[in-house]
A = this chain, B = another copy of it.
């Protein structure tokens, strides 16, 4: 089992240090600390385990260190910044592991950019040594890239010539879209194993500045303080991201607010979210609750569960979301998130919820949400209705159930707080062709919506009454389980994202899809392919046909 929970006391590969508004995140990978056997993490190369620690560090910097306004990313090893993803790991890993490894590393890099853009916690990459492949891709997430000008240190994306795969952790897209490197220069850069250094690296916009070795440390500090000085970040005292309370059994994963029940025969998992049981009354209360504040707790628990399912439960193809609780309490929680949105912690919680819902969008699993009596799909929780491939609502009351009919509730957060990767709210994405329906939905904020109203306004796919519910739901789930998992993944990766694309969706849509294709091709993964033959001294044997 791969566990995504960690904390700084357990890090094997990263060190965090603090100096007033500047934190330093030092990569110093333990070669013997690989997640699996069979490879050594030499030269600050990484595997999923290294990235899990990085993701944790980035998260903790946001929640536990409001005083940190700039983060310096650097290496603890001489002569190397980071050698990228470990090649022997890639060569040995299954297709599914490679794909999920890339997805998670991409998400982690997005979270760095999110911290910079929305939390005023900016990153500087201070490259002394070589930053190769995923090492350079990591640096490119920073706001400012510094390269020591020592005639040896360089940046490179050698994946194509070395491994016959793409710089797939956003590298290609960030080159063109973020760094705005001219395409023919990008072409040269991505085919030159040795990389680029010195003045050309600046001229080609691969780095922002080069610094002579004598001025290096002073300049890094100067830049960090400069960036910190421009930050709007204003928190004082962080909250602790306390360990999740989680139990994992054969067919269940349980947290205080999130319960997952696996049905292996049906290849599905039912994820039930429990609404808030109590809520603080004001901002002080939110800070005092810390990691126990319901929106934050739910976000962390759900996030952990999603990652667990991705890596540890590949045969579970269908996520069924349910909820239980008082919709009024969810609305009240949303009210707190709305009322105190100017506060740094509330902002972080909203941003985390946004990222977790994006993780839902990026699940290569089918998503079905069931809204039935006793459920509390309201406001932020209703994002799971709009993220779903289909949402089905129970109409009327169920026999022998005195909880009354199922209801759905919209809050202002559904329209603004949780944009998808394509920049649209899930409702705007849903009503891409119907602006009038989006407007109509906005007028329903605060209303209690029954199934008939929700269906009429296009907020759910179908409503079924007591007579039909069981059969219809069963049919949907059975039908879904009968389809090809790959075809569903491709279908969902297209239908979930309409219209506009952003750097983020271009990475996950265009770049990742091509990389996944390449990860299936014999030229990369066959017995005579690059990944298998790397380091053997024998050149790969390519099929020369273009397709």
Residues of A within 8 A of B (CB): 95-96, 99-100, 159-161, 164-166, 172-173, 175-177, 179-188, 190-191, 205, 267, 314-317, 364-365, 388-391, 429-434, 458, 461, 479-480, 483-501, 506, 509-511, 513-518, 520-521, 523-524, 530, 540, 542-547
Known A-B contacts A267-B544, A317-B546, A547-B95; A390 and B187 likewise in contact (beta carbons under 8 Å): yes
**Bound-complex Cα distance A429 to B176 (A):** 10
Using known A-B contacts A96-B545, A510-B513, determine if residue A461 contacts B188 with beta carbons closer than 8 Å.
Answer: yes
Question: In the complex, how many angstroms separate the beta carbon of A87 from the nearest chain B beta carbon?
Answer: 14
Contact B487 A547 (CB under 8 A): no
Q: Are A172 and B520 in contact (CB under 8 A)?
A: no
**A176/B498 in contact, CB under 8 A:** yes
Out of B172, B314, B524, name the residue touching A495 (CB < 8 Å): B172
Choice from B175, B434, B483, B517 contacting A486 with Cβ under 8 Å: B517
Which single member of B433, B485, B543 contacts A485 (CB below 8 Å)?
Answer: B543
Contact (Cβ within 8 A) B364 A546: yes
Whether B434 pairs with A479 at a CB distance below 8 angstroms is: no
- B365 in contact with A546 (CB, 8 Å): yes
Contact between B487 and A165 (Cβ–Cβ < 8 Å)?
yes
Point out the residue from B182, B433, B487 that lies within 8 Å of A458, measured CB to CB.
B182
List the B side residues contacting A495 at CB < 8 Å: 172, 175-176, 183, 186-187, 190
On whether the beta carbons of A164 and B487 are closer than 8 Å, the reply is yes
The docked-state distance in angstroms from the alpha carbon of A430 to that of B510 is 19
Contacts of A165 in B (CB 8 A): 487
Whether the Cβ atoms of B183 and A521 lie closer than 8 Å is no
Let me know if B180 and A432 touch, CB within 8 A: yes
Known: A389-B187, A390-B188. A484 touches B524 (CB 8 A): yes
| New contact pairs (14) apart from A99-B547, A183-B389, A190-B491, CB-CB < 8 Å | A96-B546, A160-B487, A165-B487, A183-B429, A187-B491, A187-B492, A188-B461, A317-B544, A485-B545, A493-B514, A501-B501, A501-B510, A509-B509, A520-B520
Could you tell me the distance between the alpha carbons of A524 and B159 in the complex, rounded to whole angstroms? 29
Given A176-B499, A494-B173, A520-B517, A166–B487 Cβ distance below 8 Å?
yes
27 A-B pairs in the complex with CB atoms less than 8 angstroms apart: A96-B545, A160-B491, A164-B487, A172-B494, A177-B432, A177-B498, A183-B389, A184-B388, A184-B461, A187-B491, A188-B461, A190-B495, A315-B544, A317-B544, A365-B546, A484-B530, A485-B543, A485-B546, A486-B518, A487-B518, A489-B547, A494-B510, A500-B501, A509-B510, A509-B513, A516-B517, A520-B521
Bound form: Cα–Cα A220–B547 in Å: 41
Q: Are B184 and A389 in contact (CB under 8 A)?
A: yes
Asked whether, in the complex, the Cβ of A547 is within 8 Å of the Cβ of B501, the reply is: no
How many monomers of this protein are in the complex?
Answer: 2
Shortest Cβ distance from A433 into B: residue: B180
Please give, as numbers and ranges, the residues of chain B lying within 8 Å of A540 by CB-CB distance: 484
Q: Among B166, B183, B191, B479, point to the contact of A498 (Cβ < 8 A).
A: B183
Bound together, the chains give a CA A521 to CA B520 distance in angstroms of 8
Chain B nearest CB from A360 CB (Å) reads 14
Task: Considering the complex, give the chain B residue whose CB is closest to the CB of A519.
Answer: B517
Q: Are B496 and A183 in contact (CB under 8 A)?
A: yes
Q: Which residue of B lies closest to A429 (CB)?
A: B183
| Docked-complex contact A545 and B315, CB < 8 angstroms | yes
Asked if residues B485 and A544 are in contact (CB atoms below 8 Å), the reply is yes
Chain B residues whose C-beta falls within 8 Å of the C-beta of A487 in the assembled complex: 159-160, 164-166, 518, 523-524
- The answer on a CB contact under 8 Å between B177 and A489 is no
| Chain B residues in 8 Å Cβ range of A179 | 433
Residues of chain B within 8 A (CB-CB) of A434 are 180, 182
Chain B min CB distance to A357 (Å): 15
What is the bound-complex CA distance between A515 and B494, given in angstroms? Answer: 10
Residues on B with C-beta less than 8 A from A190 are 491, 495
Complex contact A314–B546 (CB within 8 A): yes
C-alpha spacing A470/B20, complex, angstroms = 58
Selected from B187, B191, B489, B547, the residue in CB contact (under 8 A) with A546 is B489
Chain B residues with CB below 8 A from A510, complex form: 493-494, 497, 501, 509-510, 513
Q: How far is the CB of A86 from chain B (nearest CB, A)?
A: 19
Of all chain B residues, which has the CB nearest A392?
B184
Which residues of chain B come closer than 8 Å to A176, judged between CB atoms? 432, 494-495, 498-499
For A493, give the chain B residue with the smallest CB separation. Answer: B514
Bound Cα distance A317, B542 (Å): 12
Chain B neighbourhood of A181, CB < 8 A: 433
Docked pose: A483 CA to B180 CA in angstroms: 25
Q: Contact check, A391 vs B184: say whether CB atoms are below 8 A apart.
A: yes
- Alpha-carbon distance A485/B391, docked complex (angstroms): 43
Query: Which B residues touch A480, using CB under 8 A?
Result: 191
> Please, how many angstroms separate the alpha-carbon atoms of A316 and B364 in the complex?
36
Complex contacts, A479 vs chain B, CB 8 Å:
191
A145 to chain B, nearest CB (A): 15
A430 CB contacts on chain B under 8 angstroms? 182-184
Complex formed: what's the CA distance from A156 to B514 in Å?
A: 28
Which residue from chain B places its CB closest to the CB of A494 in the assembled complex?
B172
Is B520's CB under 8 angstroms from A494's CB? Answer: no
